[in-house]
A and B are shown apart, each in its own frame.
Chain A
Amino acid sequence: MLTEKEKRDLYEIIEFTIGRDTSIQRNISSFNERTVLAVEEMLNEISRCNGSMKELIVNLVSGSSILAKGWLKRSLNEFNRMLKYKQAALNGYGCMVSVKSYWKNAIIVTTI
């Protein structure tokens, strides 16, 4: 079960990385642990599209290049703050739209 603050942080992370999406926004209240895992998986994958994102994630886990499952849940607030700070440097998604759309759907699926 996520707190309201965790749900808000999670949505902001989604919006920073793949953009505003009204269908995801409508489902914030249904965000859950599965949603966090889906977003974590998405962030791991995005680092293959965008080198700056990879750097950001690796920095978050104190320089380790190995990301243990569950890292996002442990650092939702901190990661969201880092993203806000570094947003301009991320310079877009870096992959085709068809790659990104997959994650919008995968996030929604965790709420239905």
Chain B
Amino acid sequence: MKKRLFSILFPFFLVLMLSGCGSLGEKTSNLQLVFSSSYHLDLPVSFFQNTKIAKASDIILKFDDEAYVSFGIITRDLEGLDTSFDLLLYPEFILGVKAPHSVSERSKKKFIASYNVYKYRLGGFHIEKKEFNEVYIFLAKGDNQSVAFVVNKIEPSQVLVIDFNAVSDSRMETILKGLRHNAD
């Protein structure tokens, strides 16, 4: 039996919008997943074929090959960081690109411990920096797992954290290119 096109769990937690995008006279239906007031994902409905969308701590997309990706929002308040902390530094500190400075001793320890966790979790990862649609993306790519930290270039007040588990490179790229900052 064919799987349902979408299996949407906990629909009351999701904000989904279907939109028609005109292009050279052709119309394609897009689906927008809204993660916060700052970030959403905007991709053709066909991308979500045979995909489960679940609300957990964050929003999860589980694909039919068991690969999954989750989207979560981080704020200064949530991480116990000072209100003046520059969130553009968050990805660099947590991925060990820069030694954490301008934060409390407690936060410094947590950044360093978190970097050690990513080294363990992702294996020998490498970092790719990308820029799409007014956002900076810091992608730490491991063998089977990867994590992306997405920060708006101009006025970062939130970091979108995307964990990829067994997700193919092409699917990962499609997701990253489909990200939008809501000020767009």
Contacting pair A109 B57 (CB below 8 A): no
Collect the chain A residues with CB atoms within 8 Å of residue B163's CB.
Answer: 101-102, 105
A112 near B113 with CB under 8 A, answer no
Q: In terms of DSSP, what is the predominant structure of the interface of chain A? A: helix
A97 within 8 A of B: yes
Which B9-43 residues sit within 8 Å CB-CB of chain A?
9-10
Q: Could you tell me if B114 and A98 are in contact, using CB atoms closer than 8 angstroms?
A: yes
Given A49-B113, A99-B114, A105 contacting B56 (CB threshold 8 A): yes
Is residue B62 within 8 Å, beta carbon to beta carbon, of the partner chain? yes
A24 at the interface (CB under 8 A from B): yes
CA separation between A66 and B118, bound complex, in Å?
21
Residues of B within 8 A of A94 (CB): 109-110, 113
Q: Is there a chain A Cβ closer than 8 Å to B44's Cβ?
A: no
* A86 contacts the other chain (CB 8 A): no
Q: Which residues of B contact A67 (CB under 8 A)?
A: none
Tell whether A109 pairs with B68 under 8 Å between CB atoms, given A45-B117, A97-B79, A99-B117: yes
Q: Flag if B78 contacts A109 (CB, 8 Å).
A: no
Interface residues of B (CB under 8 A from A): 9-10, 52, 54-58, 60, 62, 68, 70, 72, 74, 78-79, 94, 109-111, 113-114, 116-118, 120-121, 147, 149, 159, 161, 163, 165
